[in-house]
Structure 1
Amino acid sequence: MTAIPPRQIRAVFNSRTIRVYQAYRDDIADAALANGTFVSPPFSMTRMTWIKPSFLWMMYRAGWGFKDAGQTRILAIDITRDGFEWALAHGCSSHRDPSMTDDEWIRFKKRHPVRVQWDPERDLLLRPLPHRSLQMGLESEALERYVRDWIVSIEDITALAHEMHGLIDTGSFEQAERLLPMEEEYLVTKPELLALMVNPH
């Protein structure tokens, strides 16, 4: 078996779209499902929003939808691949480069409306794995494009998350694993995007 690189984008995708996940409270989720995109209010257009292609990382972050009242609804959002790659191309690390001053970092962030972060992937028990998964924080222009242009469809998958959580709680790991979304490597070929896989600054 080929080892998974330390950083690799894995997702559910087709020729047009790639799936990302988010978790919200009921009013935000209900408005998004009714309108096919996020609606402000209750969704905030002034706060950074994080999108995650990894299902299990989303389950870790939201505790299968049981972690807190603000993350009770798990949404699967299919966005255009063009939008996703625009986000990658306009991203920078979520952490300041040590060589930068605070003022330089503030100016740098203003030029990059997307934060790129790599976090340990998770297994079914939500334990960290050696390789990492991508998440991206969207603000300002990126957030406007996400809400206005990129979203193709939104699906509520809270019931799936709860079902898998119940199976894992009873030790039915094989059944839970069969319900996992089939995530595959999302190949990045543009040189400017490949750089983010190594040094996302």
Structure 2
Amino acid sequence: MKLNIKSYKEQLKEWPEAGHHIMAQYDDEKVIVYQSYRPAIGNFAFRNQFFGGPFKLTRMTWIKPNFLWMMYRNGWGKKEGQEVVLAIHLKREAFERYLTRAVYSNYQEDIYETREAWQNAVQNSNVRLQWDPDHDPYGAKLERRAIQLGIRNEEIVQYAKEDILEIEDISDFVAEQYKHVCANNLDALLIPEEHPYIPKDIEATKRLRLDPE
């Protein structure tokens, strides 16, 4: 596995406790995002290093840069249809493009002049944005907010092949770490190392309401 792994307890000391933060593992070339699928889709993506086969390009797909947010959503890979957990090495320029083009799923009166303007933005955008409560390893809500991005239409076509550098199947790693959660042994829990991500686009940073580190 090519992800940088670090103790959950150690990272907890460094992470912001509240506010809007894009928690992610990244470098100059890539940002790691996570998705979970049923075996037919997940195994195809891992074997072929792109999304195809039973993966539908006509449906919106959601990516999450925050590992524990993904674990909350997929039940640590135990939910039906989400057994194959993928770590997607996404081109950083693609992730930046998504953030720049993202439109909120819900009307934000301080960002869009009118509700109609927001609705038009939603119709014309291929990237959707949601902020939700982040969660701890047990699934409890936190004050910190976590981001997820929905991709559709032309963006999903580009995402499926062109935007991806590598796809890793981390299902075994997830299952192994979940044993520590079930045993209430968070001292032993290892997860991908994450830090707050700040977009290069200043306007995107403002629109996303990102809090300073």
TM over 0.5: yes
Matched, 1:184 2:199: no
Q: Secondary structure at 1:53's aligned position in 2?
A: coil
Distance 1:5 1:196 in 2: 18
Paired residue for 1:58? 70
Structure 2 counterpart of 1:100, from 81, 90, 115: 115
1:40-70 C-alpha deviation (Å, 9 max, x unpaired): x3001010000000000000000011122x1
Shift of 1:156: 0.7
Aligned length: 193
Shift of 1:11: 0.6
Matched, 1:6 2:19: yes
Which shows bigger deviation, 135-144 or 17-26?
135-144
Structure 2 counterpart of 1:135, from 129, 148, 155: 148
Structure ranking higher in helix proportion:
1
Q: Secondary structure at 1:173's aligned position in 2?
A: coil
Which shows bigger deviation, 6-15 or 17-26?
6-15
1:106-126 C-alpha deviation (Å, 9 max, x unpaired): 432232110111111111212
Shift of 1:71: 0.6
Distance 1:128 1:5 in 2: 11
Structure 2 unaligned residues grouped into runs of 5+: 1-12
Q: Which amino acid aligns with 1:46?
A: T
Checking the alignment, whether the CA contact within 8 Å between 1:8 and 1:197 is kept in structure 2 is: no
1:20-31 → structure 2 map (5 Å cutoff)? 20-31=33-44
Paired residue for 1:49? 61
Shift of 1:193: 1.1
Paired residue for 1:36? 49
Aligned Cα RMSD in Å?
A: 1.8
Checking the alignment, whether the CA contact within 8 Å between 1:28 and 1:42 is kept in structure 2 is: yes
Distance 1:89 1:189 in 2: 10
Q: Which amino acid aligns with 1:194?
A: T
- Between the aligned residues of both structures, percent identity stands at 35
Which shows bigger deviation, 72-81 or 190-199?
190-199
Q: Which amino acid aligns with 2:24?
A: A
Structure 1 unaligned residues grouped into runs of 5+: none
Distance 2:29 2:200 in 1: 16
TM-score by length of 1: 0.89
